[in-house]
């Protein structure tokens, strides 16, 4: 790949349809903007209509003439995912790009989705799994094959899949749960590539991570409801992000590369190429051993299919 890949090096995407989840701000918005600037017809998906309208207005200003729309979708709800997929299938026969970006991070207390899943595991992994499964026929329809880009995180490096307590009912630690969910996302991307090759599906699965990017999800845990020690700790973390990290626009580049670049390979994983993969130009990212473990992947796959009532095999 180019030493310093930029969005200007992406091919034109005219006539192609892209869906970006969590697109009302941060990385999702920047990714949607990049796709729109290259000519794609972009659907910004989110759960808040007011934020969706604001994001759409902002995008139209940032990319005049962009063909974009907001779509209501809550990836923390299996019913919302099923309804969204059903409605989209009535509107189009094909989907060229799906960016699984929506997520939550480090919720201080254990919360559950409407379906009873631990919030981070349900939102960050089970939701994208179910959405990808339900949209697979549309993704396989384009002649060139649709791309599924799953956004992982540096947190995956130290993540563990706790099979005997996936929902953290016995023991909940905010970032332990987050690390598990992001490792699961990376496994989703790699195993989907294997499943596609095994079954001859006409789709491409690629993962990406943004390094340390200054987004709402990275800074929103600094709030007044926590004690002084926690707030000071998080204040220091935010300044570390500012000093050692990068902007949301820069963090979105690996995701945009995975979504558009011809040289992005199936089963690849991309992130920043600087120190510790925190910032820098797009390059191949390090895949932790747990993400390469086929036994873990297949066990997680079976659990995801059972929990979501969908199939990706």
Phi, psi (deg, nearest 5) at residue 94: -135, 155
Instruction: Reply yes or no on whether 29 is catalytic.
Output: no
CB environment 11-46: b (16+ within 10 A), e (fewer): eebeebbbbbbbbbbbbbbbbbbbbbbbbbbbbbbb
C-alpha–C-alpha distance, residues 184 and 190, integer Å: 10
Q: Residues of 58-70 as b/e, b for ≥16 C-beta within 10 angstroms?
A: ebeeebeebebeb
Q: Which of 29, 172, 178, 269 is catalytic?
A: 178
Written as six digits, the tokens of 89 are 């299938």
Q: Tokens 């549309």, residue?
A: 138
Torsion 196-9-21-209 (CA) sign: positive
- Angstrom distance (rounded) from CA 63 to CA 57: 10
Active site residues: 178
């Amino acid at each position: 790949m180019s030493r310093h890949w930029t969005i200007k090096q992406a091919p034109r995407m005219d006539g192609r349809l892209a869906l970006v989840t969590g697109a009302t701000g941060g990385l999702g918005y920047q990714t949607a903007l990049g796709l729109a600037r290259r000519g794609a017809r972009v659907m910004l998906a989110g759960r808040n209509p007011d934020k969706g309208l604001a994001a759409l207005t902002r995008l139209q200003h940032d990319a005049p003439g962009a063909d974009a729309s907001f779509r209501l979708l809550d990836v923390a709800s299996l019913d919302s995912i099923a309804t969204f997929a059903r409605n989209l299938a009535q509107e189009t026969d094909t989907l060229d790009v799906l960016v699984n970006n929506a997520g939550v991070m480090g919720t201080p207390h254990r919360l559950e989705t409407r379906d009873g899943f631990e919030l981070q595991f349900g939102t960050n992994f089970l939701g994208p799994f179910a959405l990808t499964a339900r949209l697979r026929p549309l993704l396989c329809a384009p002649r060139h094959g649709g791309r599924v880009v799953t956004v992982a995180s540096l947190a995956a490096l130290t993540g563990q899949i706790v099979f005997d307590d996936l929902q953290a009912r016995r023991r909940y630690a905010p970032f332990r749960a987050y690390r598990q969910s992001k490792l699961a996302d990376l496994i989703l991307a790699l195993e989907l590539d294997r499943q596609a090759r095994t079954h001859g599906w006409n789709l491409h699965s690629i993962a990406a991570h943004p390094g340390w990017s200054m987004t709402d999800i990275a800074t929103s845990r600094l709030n007044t409801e926590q004690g002084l020690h926690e707030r000071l700790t998080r204040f220091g973390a935010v300044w570390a992000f500012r000093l050692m990290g990068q902007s949301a626009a820069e963090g979105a580049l690996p995701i945009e590369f995975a979504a558009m670049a011809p040289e992005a390979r199936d089963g690849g994983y991309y992130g920043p190429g600087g120190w510790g993969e925190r910032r820098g130009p797009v390059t191949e990212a390090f895949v932790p051993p747990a993400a390469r473990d086929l036994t873990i992947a297949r066990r997680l796959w079976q659990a995801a299919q059972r929990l979501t009532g969908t199939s990706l095999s």
